[in-house]
Chains A and B, each alone.
Chain A
Amino acid sequence: MSDKILEIQNVSKFFGSVIALQNVSMFVRPGQVTCLLGDNGAGKSTLIKTLAGVHKPSEGRYFFEGEETLFESPREALNAGIATVYQDLAMIPLMSIWRNFFLGSEPLKAGPFFDIENAKQTTREEMAKMGIDIRDPDQPVGTLSGGERQSVAIARAVYFGAKVLILDEPTAALGVKQAGVVLRYIVEARNRGIGVIFITHNPHHAYPVGDHFVILKRGQILGDYAKDEVAIDHLIQMMAGGADLEQLQHELAEATGRSD
């Protein structure tokens, strides 16, 4: 088993008197998927932003590639190889796929000129490597489905050398089939040796792709389990804390019908 590429130890984050995170520890290894599960208000967003360099932890330690690190900005984290794909901020709908793909990191030729042929070609190739078939790179991203958009964002992060990929609820707004598309790219990214942190509130999406599962509740870690240590119904129960058990059982019945 390879070393942890990103790890936080006993991280807390306070906003004034509000304790958003308390004593949170978690890690991800290259070529593995760490699923971060939590219901709304569990502190997922704060944790993502702390990992992505937006927030600095109030307490605790942050390790990247074995060294203690403190990122000053998201850009710094990105340059180090920690790419974050936000649910709604991933893509610009009016721009074509290739323009989106290279936004902010455009390949240049002959001085100041954007190497457009290269950009289109690379976009097509990189998407193909992720197993997505883009028909026309000139297509505006707005005409893609939600799942395809997330996939473009993931492919972009992978292409630009992400070592750690943080995915903020990439499947939340998607239908079953679309979510399946995104889950496949998560596995693709993992197979290419990237450490993936997959944030979701849906255990049915997490369980098939995850290597281990971190459950966050009210700003604290409720548990950290390897896949062989935990069954999906147990995950669900811990996340929801026994609330609305009947509805959960109903969902569970549905889930067993379609998982794998």
Chain B
Amino acid sequence: MTDERVRKVGLANRLLTRPEFGAFLALVVVWIFFAIVAFDNNFVSWTTTASILNRAAPLGILAVAVALLMIAGEFDLSIGSIVGFAGMAVMLLVTPADAGGFGLPVWIAVLIALVITLLTGFFNGVLVMATRLPSFIITLGSLFIFRGLAVAIPRLMTNRTQLGGFEDYDSGGWAATFATKMELGGAKFDIAIIWWIAIAAIGTIVLLKTNIGNWIFGAGGDANAARNVGVPVAKLKIALFMMTALAAFIVALIQATQLNSADSLRGTLKEFEAIIAVVVGGTLLTGGYGSVLGPVFGALIFAMVQQGIIITGVDGDWFRVFVGGILVLAVIFNNFIRQRASKR
């Protein structure tokens, strides 16, 4: 398939047109920065690498789902609340009746909580599609609704907003599946990293290699045009809202098994962190353009900056300043290369 009218575009140029390229470059720059600045603080080590990846994994899982949703042109601001809500749902269902819970066997509890969590995504999706309102507004509402429910229901039933002791009920190997640590180079890597890699791989394949991926790009690029050629835009978007809820559920399970508890406030601000990771990863805020790999890099940058600031002993208050700055820089940079790349 050669055509004399296609000029050889250099490797650099082909990389430039990829949405994740800016994030990859930023990742390298941030790593080198800390490798120099924090070399004495042991930044280049198995331990620090493990800490970064362990931090990045839950955020990265959320970011993969949020990326697909955002490429399809919708926001989900409620995903952090759903993390708290889902964790609480699981714990409330397994907590014994005398402590105010339902006392169900753990696998039934997880199954019921999964269904309830998928329904939260379904609720978001249906509401957005039925009202035709911006998902930003609808999910801003559900951010408060699900957080409120995650606080109010456990308080009503158990008089607490933290429920512990998951390991006491765990008989089906849930902790082994979601909270195992793997030794490598003397450092402990969470199994959540494997989950993250698997989910990112599935996300990439779906986006780039299936017809559903093509629909996702189309729905985000121009929902009307996509509808005109027969893409089931509403069904697709509702399914994607349910996928973000599923990602939140997996993160909730990881946290419940790692920390042995659920807390009503868990996942707070995760919706914004996920959006930051996705946008830093080169996804267009208005949809229709982006990748799964980019948000993976975005989550890594986020965790790397966080960890770098912790180990260099810089006051943690500066973390947000850094992250905000990186976000703005990344968007400016991505915008610049996208325009440059598409013009040639």
Contact = CB atoms under 8 A, between A and B. Distances in A.
Interface in B177-236: 209-215, 217-218, 221-222, 224-226, 228-231
A230 interface: no
B92 interface: no
A105 B217 contact: no
Interface in B1-15: 1, 3, 5-6
Nearest to A141: B221
Interface stretch (A25-33, A87-95, A203-211, A239-247): A87-95
B214 A92 contact: no
B221 A94 contact: yes
A128 to B, nearest CB: 10
Interface string A174-188: 000000000000000
A95 B229 contact: no
Interface stretch (A37-45, A111-119, A248-256): A111-119
Interface string B271-304: 0000000000000100011000000000000000
B217 A95 contact: yes
A104 interface: yes
A105 B6 contact: no
Given A89-B224, A94-B289, A135 B3 contact: yes
Given A92-B226, A104-B215, A116 B209 contact: yes
A63 interface: no
A186 B67 CA distance: 40
Contacts of B229: 103-105
Contact of B230 (A104, A114, A120): A104
B342 A89 contact: no
A72 interface: no
Given A95-B288, A106-B214, A108-B211, A90 B225 contact: yes
A69 interface: no
A140 interface: yes
A120 B3 CA distance: 13
Contact of B6 (A104, A136, A142): A136
Nearest to A88: B225
A102 interface: yes
Interface class of chain B by DSSP: helix
Contacts of B212: 112
Nearest to A143: B342
A37 B188 CA distance: 73
B225 A112 contact: no
Contacts of A105: 229-230
B5 A135 contact: yes
Contact of B210 (A90, A112, A124): A112
Interface string A142-171: 110000000000000000000000000000
Contact of B211 (A89, A94, A114): A114
A95 B226 CA distance: 11
Interface in B214-262: 214-215, 217-218, 221-222, 224-226, 228-231
B213 A114 contact: yes
A89 B222 contact: yes
A112 B212 CA distance: 9
A99 interface: yes
Contacts, number: 74
Interface residues of B, number: 27
A86 B228 contact: yes
Contact of B226 (A75, A104, A133): A104
Contact of B214 (A86, A94, A114, A133): A114
B211 A106 contact: yes
A140 B6 contact: no
A114 B216 CA distance: 13
Contacts of A124: 1
Nearest to B286: A94
A78 interface: yes
A112 B230 CA distance: 18
Most chain A CB within a 10 A radius of its CB, from B6, B210, B218, B225? B225
B5 A74 contact: no
Contacts of B228: 74, 84, 86, 89
Interface of A: 74-75, 78, 84, 86, 89-95, 99, 102-106, 108, 112-114, 116, 120-121, 124, 133, 135-136, 140, 142-143
Interface of B: 1, 3, 5-6, 209-215, 217-218, 221-222, 224-226, 228-231, 284, 288-289, 342-343
Given A93-B221, A108-B211, A135-B5, 19 more contacts: A75-B230, A89-B222, A90-B225, A91-B225, A92-B222, A93-B222, A95-B288, A99-B218, A102-B214, A103-B215, A103-B229, A104-B231, A114-B210, A114-B211, A114-B213, A114-B214, A124-B1, A136-B3, A140-B342
7 contacts: A91-B225, A92-B225, A103-B229, A112-B211, A114-B211, A121-B1, A136-B6
**A-B CB proximity, top 6 nearest:** A92-B221, A106-B211, A104-B229, A104-B230, A94-B288, A135-B5
